[in-house]
Structure 1
Amino acid sequence: MGMADPLVRNDAVSTRKITFFVALAIFAQESAWNFYDNQVPVLLREQVASAGLVGLLMGMDNLLGIFVQPWIGNRSDNTRTRWGRRMPYLAVGMPLAAVVFVFLPWATSLAALVAVMFLYALLANTTRPLTESMVPDFIAPERRSRANAIVKIATSLTIIMASLISLLVVDEHPRAAFVIPSVILLLTTAVLIAKVRDNQSPAYQAALVEEETTAEAKVPFRQVLIELIRDPDRRRLLLLLSVLLFGGAWFASRSLITPYGMEALGLSRGDAGGLTLPSGVAYLLAAYPAALCAERFGRLRTMGAGMAIFAAALAAGTFVQSAAGTVVVFCVAAIGAAAFTINAVVALWNLAPSSRVLGTYTGLYAVTWYLGGFGGPALIGVVVDLTGWRGMLLDVAVLATLAVLVVVRLGRLQRRAAVASAAPANS
């Protein structure tokens, strides 16, 4: 017992350190991306008058993410260097993204601006899933929710960072303002290069051991997909389905709230757009407790309860047709959403068949979430066209309830799998 305590303490220190470095990297990447979302539309409006074209071009990064993130996740899974499998790409991709970012306000034509936007979106989509994949690379399954909660908090704080840069710098120095996120990216890259070598991660070492006992040195992306689809164990597919459905509900609730506030509550455009601001604070406060609940009560149970809270809150919001009531409803819904978003990707990592495909599964999660973000608002929008704005929150609640039912089914399969795995040990 005396020898175990220092080992436990060392493991805890190592977990805190890698969590800090991953959160720092995500903070740097997302600070640039949020500032991009804030200010690049203004650059586009200087070149084109069509709001539709501006929106289409701003959606290019999400479209690229659907193709790039699973590809780069799989490519990094199959990379072997003395720096590991994620860091070589981050050490090159993050500085390149920083340099490209600086050139955004200097593009003097639409063609040049779109070209720089495309290159930045490509680099940003390349680095983001690799940084997230270092959580399961380094951290044991039972502690991944805590680490992911810290990462999500860092992601949320970048909205404040981007807003501060816009508020304090952009009006006086519109081009120099783009340098600030770039410098943050460069400094963070230097810290990662100096402090992180993912060839020392437990998942990387496990992948090397596994390769010694298998005939194939690499796991192609196509093989990962085929194995996922054909596997009689449907837990991973059901989990991805729940991500798709809840992602659709979450993005629909956020992207349609302004017209809902205007049409159903009679608010001005500005007041309607501010309805979700307090819920962002509620999400931040709920993130880490959601991880602790998952460790105590189980991830699937926490996810299901969170989605049920989200759905119930929005359903109740249908009967509370006031601005104050809607703010409260969205705060409660955000707490429920945190229970799902903090734990869903962790559940998928823990269901991955091998440590050799953790990056690929990070990419698959991102793609499924993005597809939900694309399809959910469109689906709810069609329903609103048929039934009216006053029932929009209930429409979203129904979609979230479908996700709850999927997780309930997944929980049953998980319990069966646990019983089956315990049977040989007890016999």
Structure 2
Amino acid sequence: MTQDKPFSYGKIFAIGSGFFALTLGWTFYNAYMPLLLGDYIESRAIRGGIMGLDNLLAVILIPFIGAWSDKVDTKLGKRLPFIVVGMPAAALFFILIPYGALNTLWLLLAIDIMFLLAMTIYRAPVIALMPDHTPSEKRSTANGIINLMGGIGALIALFGLSTLYGIERTYPFIVAGILLLLSFIFLYFTVDRRPPYVGSSEDEIEEIQASKSFFHGFGKILKPEFRGHFFILFAIFLYFIGYAGLEAQFTVYAVEFLKMEAGKAGFTLGFFSLAFVIFAVPAGLLGSKLGKLPIMLIGLVILPLTFISIPSLPLLNTVFPELNQVLVLQLVLFSGGIAWAFINVQAYPLVADLGGMSKIGFFTGLYYLFSMASSIIAPGLLGLIMDVFSPPSLFYGAALTFVIAFYFLKKGSNIVRKNKALINDSISF
């Protein structure tokens, strides 16, 4: 009985510190690594392709590492051996990134690859710690705590570390590395070596489910009877191209086109994340009341309109010179973050409902597979659009992915409704 087993919110916060450090590192890396690469590589497409490497490694390696951590049995338990190796190594190589950038491109790339490998080693095991320590009835609450800490990590990266980058670009990497080490120490001395719920946690590791869905069941989703389901997943794939590409290329646009200081560029991007954190819960409540699909569709209308307005902001400044162009951009990005909350908060529950009670794990895996796969090509694709056309075309390209996603989400939902394949009756179509 789960009530006879221990459960501690303190340990959930300790585990959340690992996700905090993970999100902080990734957010800052995505915002500023393209600028460091820009010292050596002019092409935004090539820089974007390098930025997609971390997601490629994630899709290929994380499922196997996660499955490996299910099977090993050491004095440190199942997950900690990977965390002991990965987190300190990731902290070290993250600190070394700006120093590599001061020397040669090849040294920078070598350090970058080692950092990405280290992050990949511990990513799935640290995520698996939550279900290892949590009974099933408390996992939604625990996951909310962990994602909140991840959101705080993203805000610290874009507001706090970006400010440090404007002072000296080695400082934020050092601070982030130290925070990663502190999170590791906190985890090491807090989590159980033999967690009470480890036997039931495998199905809760979404990124491992992505691999299982791909290798064991991806062909099923291509069958005619699942066409509506596929369209919904394809819509998610499309708009994540826009989101991930914009995240990776925004600072490049701001620094190289708007001539904004690098630290201020990351700080400005932080307003998008800030709005998402603030409005995530209200967006979820709206989805519960009005239906997940309608709220997603509203977001898929508002966000591309927000994006296509951004290239016109410099022209607005010529008409109204008294306007603070950076402040206006920050406000526009904040409104975009609200729309992103409308979309992203509803997406996973909508996909999970597609499988009913018996296929949640399968569709969870497909959700993570489609969203992660888009992040592999997004930075390079949006960078190529910027190279071929102009830097402001970043926003038009991103907006286009959301517009097309609107079409496929609407069409797929209509097909699913007609086929009566969606089991959860609470969803409004």
**TM-score by structure 1 length?**
0.68
Residue 165 of structure 2 corresponds to residue 166 of structure 1: yes
Return the match for 1:332 from 315, 335, 356. Answer: 335
Return the match for 1:118 from 101, 110, 113. Answer: 113
Do the aligned residues in 2 keep the contact of 1:130 with 1:359 (CA within 8 Å)? no
Do the aligned residues in 2 keep the contact of 1:253 with 1:393 (CA within 8 Å)? yes
Do the aligned residues in 2 keep the contact of 1:311 with 1:400 (CA within 8 Å)? yes
Do the aligned residues in 2 keep the contact of 1:244 with 1:371 (CA within 8 Å)? no
Residue 90 of structure 2 corresponds to residue 97 of structure 1: yes
Residue 202 of structure 2 corresponds to residue 200 of structure 1: no
Match of 1:80 in 2: 71
Match of 2:375 in 1: 369
Return the match for 1:342 from 317, 342, 345. Answer: 345
Question: How far apart in 1 are the matches of 2:140 and 2:335?
Answer: 27
Amino acid paired to 1:200: Y
Q: Which moved more, 1:95-104 or 1:181-190?
A: 95-104
Do the aligned residues in 2 keep the contact of 1:129 with 1:359 (CA within 8 Å)? no
Return the match for 1:409 from 408, 411, 423. Answer: 411
Residue 67 of structure 2 corresponds to residue 65 of structure 1: no
Q: Structure 1 pair 35/313, CA: closer, same or farther in 2 (3 Å)?
A: closer
Do the aligned residues in 2 keep the contact of 1:252 with 1:373 (CA within 8 Å)? yes
Return the match for 1:282 from 263, 268, 275. Answer: 275
SS in 1 for 2:52: helix
After superposition, the C-alpha distances for 1:109-145 in whole angstroms (9 at most, x for unaligned) are 6544432221111222443455456678866697698
Amino acid paired to 1:94: M
Q: Structure 1 pair 239/189, CA: closer, same or farther in 2 (3 Å)?
A: farther
Question: How far apart in 1 are the matches of 2:310 and 2:36?
Answer: 38
Amino acid paired to 1:184: L
SS in 2 for 1:51: coil
After superposition, the C-alpha distances for 1:267-316 in whole angstroms (9 at most, x for unaligned) are 65559958756444333322332233334444333322222221344466
Amino acid paired to 1:374: G
Question: How far apart in 2 are the matches of 1:395 and 1:330?
Answer: 16
Q: Structure 1 pair 135/367, CA: closer, same or farther in 2 (3 Å)?
A: farther
Do the aligned residues in 2 keep the contact of 1:308 with 1:401 (CA within 8 Å)? yes
After superposition, the C-alpha distances for 1:313-354 in whole angstroms (9 at most, x for unaligned) are 446668875247655443322210122233434544565736
Do the aligned residues in 2 keep the contact of 1:73 with 1:359 (CA within 8 Å)? no
SS in 2 for 1:195: coil
Residue 192 of structure 2 corresponds to residue 190 of structure 1: no
Match of 1:215 in 2: none
Do the aligned residues in 2 keep the contact of 1:198 with 1:204 (CA within 8 Å)? no
Question: How far apart in 2 are the matches of 1:259 and 1:43?
Answer: 14
After superposition, the C-alpha distances for 1:180-219 in whole angstroms (9 at most, x for unaligned) are 3333222222333422666716852768xxxxxxxxxx95
Do the aligned residues in 2 keep the contact of 1:258 with 1:269 (CA within 8 Å)? no
Question: How far apart in 2 are the matches of 1:397 and 1:52?
Answer: 24
Q: Which moved more, 1:396-405 or 1:333-342?
A: 396-405
After superposition, the C-alpha distances for 1:364-388 in whole angstroms (9 at most, x for unaligned) are 5222234344334545775x56xx9
Q: Which runs of 5+ in 1 are unaligned?
A: 1-5, 208-217
Do the aligned residues in 2 keep the contact of 1:133 with 1:359 (CA within 8 Å)? no
**TM-score by structure 2 length?**
0.67
Do the aligned residues in 2 keep the contact of 1:73 with 1:130 (CA within 8 Å)? no
Q: Which runs of 5+ in 2 are unaligned?
A: 205-210, 317-324
Q: Which moved more, 1:196-205 or 1:87-96?
A: 196-205
Do the aligned residues in 2 keep the contact of 1:132 with 1:362 (CA within 8 Å)? no
Q: Structure 1 pair 43/52, CA: closer, same or farther in 2 (3 Å)?
A: closer
Question: How far apart in 2 are the matches of 1:105 and 1:311?
Answer: 34
Match of 1:212 in 2: none
Question: How far apart in 2 are the matches of 1:363 and 1:224?
Answer: 12
Q: Structure 1 pair 131/270, CA: closer, same or farther in 2 (3 Å)?
A: same
Do the aligned residues in 2 keep the contact of 1:203 with 1:355 (CA within 8 Å)? no
Query: How far 1:395 sits from its partner (Å)?
Result: 6.1
Return the match for 1:26 from 4, 15, 19. Answer: 19
Match of 2:155 in 1: 156
Amino acid paired to 1:371: I
Question: How far apart in 2 are the matches of 1:112 and 1:292?
Answer: 48
Q: Structure 1 pair 293/80, CA: closer, same or farther in 2 (3 Å)?
A: farther
Question: How far apart in 1 are the matches of 2:129 and 2:415?
Answer: 28
Do the aligned residues in 2 keep the contact of 1:69 with 1:367 (CA within 8 Å)? yes
Residue 311 of structure 2 corresponds to residue 304 of structure 1: no
Question: How far apart in 2 are the matches of 1:162 and 1:377?
Answer: 24
Question: How far apart in 1 are the matches of 2:96 and 2:261?
Answer: 32
After superposition, the C-alpha distances for 1:380-403 in whole angstroms (9 at most, x for unaligned) are 775x56xx96x9866654432221
Query: How far 1:410 sits from its partner (Å)?
Result: 3.5
Q: Structure 1 pair 125/53, CA: closer, same or farther in 2 (3 Å)?
A: farther
Query: How far 1:257 sits from its partner (Å)?
Result: 8.7
Question: How far apart in 2 are the matches of 1:19 and 1:307?
Answer: 34
Amino acid paired to 1:195: V
Amino acid paired to 2:340: A
Match of 1:214 in 2: none
Do the aligned residues in 1 keep the contact of 2:48 with 2:380 (CA within 8 Å)? no
